[in-house]
A and B are shown apart, each in its own frame.
Chain A
């Protein structure tokens, strides 16, 4: 068995004294693991850092074997990621999210979303907004997508400001007001008119509709609630500390920016 593809390194694990097991996200083959012989050598270490884009050639005798990776560095971005707290926390939070996907299951939209976020992890506001969209996308790919296109009660498609924690569907202001304390706020940048493609794919253009700090906090609370309910709690898991670190880093950055 042999295939070649480009992939984004998500994580590595030491194996023996000189090798490591590489976990990469590829567009056509999803999250895929393989052994890199000599991967802990000084020559290879810089290339095999999370966030880097590499060319992968995977070989194995049988399809269900772990297999061996041959690596060709394509775009080495790890050093850039390491300069910011949003970068280092972000790449690990993304890897933790992608761990919930089954191995070798293709998710091309998540691959493209991952690529988009990594390119913007040094810009806290953009990275935050993209991360929220990515979490919504992960929920959708796992079968727990939120329906934010119309009001669950009235069918209205405008003035959507709440999300029902039970159904995961949007609720308009008029219908939701009596139940407001029990509903989750829907930030305007996630509403369908602001983000028409949030279920179908990562928004390619965020310019002009970036959220403010409160909207980002609400958005992370919204995705965090549904991730916990549908993905983490059934597996008896806690939210990744990397995600908490990422959210805190963004909040801190925005607070500092606001206070000048």
Chain B
């Protein structure tokens, strides 16, 4: 049976757009839309205003490739950050995850994806050239490759390492091993082998 419209076209349009967000399907989009409409003053109006501001002001940092409302971004323009270390990530969400961890007070470089020959994504589709330019400009002593532990991610890591060969910079990558809360019995053999190889003194 075809879906019948339950409200005017404006509300239906809102539901359709919400349904395109990650994690939301048509049913949950209806619930979200209804919730927003019911809380018009507390939620709908501020959300619309925030989105309007985001549309006007959000931009991509020309230095590192992250999104912010200023260019250079807050991270790149922060003088307290270590300029000698650049952490290379695939996507902005990875940068945000590392910032949540707060382990390094450094700068970043967002690649915008990974190399994937099967999908036709090559080096020119990523910001690898810009990374090489940043390193060549000097002042960088370490590149931390914080890419995903997938074949595509590691292909990208190897490619970047090859491109940086001969430049005066140390290239490191994240360790592969047992996650916190992980039980050995449930880990795949490959991860266990990597964890054992990278064992440290206790």
A interface residue numbers (CB < 8 A to B): 11, 13, 17, 45-47, 49-51, 73, 75-83, 85, 88-89, 91-93, 95-96, 99, 240-242, 245, 248-249, 252
Could you tell me if A92 and B191 are in contact, using CB atoms closer than 8 angstroms?
no
- The interface-forming segment of B84-92, B127-135, B154-162 is B154-162
Contact residue among B123, B158, B161, B190 (Cβ-Cβ distance under 8 Å from A79): B190
Task: With CB as the reference atom, state the residue of chain B lying closest to A93.
Answer: B117
- Closest A-chain residue to B24, C-beta based? A17
Bound-state Cα–Cα, A97 to B188, Å: 28
A88/B118 in contact, CB under 8 A: no
Least CB separation from A78: chain B residue: B190
Cβ-defined contact, A241 with B117, below 8 A: yes
Report A-chain residues with C-beta under 8 Å of the C-beta of B194.
Answer: 79, 83
Is B149 located at the chain interface by the 8 A CB criterion? yes
- A selection of 18 A-B contacts at a CB cut-off of 8 Å is A49-B150, A73-B188, A75-B189, A77-B190, A78-B190, A79-B190, A79-B193, A79-B194, A81-B151, A82-B149, A83-B194, A88-B151, A88-B158, A89-B155, A93-B117, A96-B117, A242-B117, A249-B162
Inter-chain residue pair count (beta carbon < 8 A): 72
Within 8 Å by CB of B154, from A45, A75, A82, A95, lies A82
List the A side residues contacting B154 at CB < 8 Å: 82, 88
Residues of A within 8 A of B190 (CB): 46, 76-80
Specify which of B123, B149, B150, B193 lies most central, judged by the most chain A CB atoms within 10 Å of its CB.
B150
B102 within 8 A of A: no
Other-chain contact of A17, B23, B118, B119 (Cβ < 8 Å): B23
Chain B residues within 8 Å of A51, by CB: 151
Complex contact A76–B155 (CB within 8 A): no
Task: Give 5 closest A-B pairs by Cβ, nearest first.
Answer: A79-B190, A82-B154, A85-B158, A242-B117, A46-B188
Shortest CB–CB separation between residue B174 and chain A, in angstroms?
12
B22 within 8 A of A: yes
Contact in complex: A17, B22 (CB < 8 Å): yes
Asked if B188 contacts A92 (CB within 8 A), the reply is: no
- Complex Cα distance, B22 from A64, in Å, reads 31
Contact status of A245 and B159, CB under 8 A, knowing A51-B151, A99-B118: yes
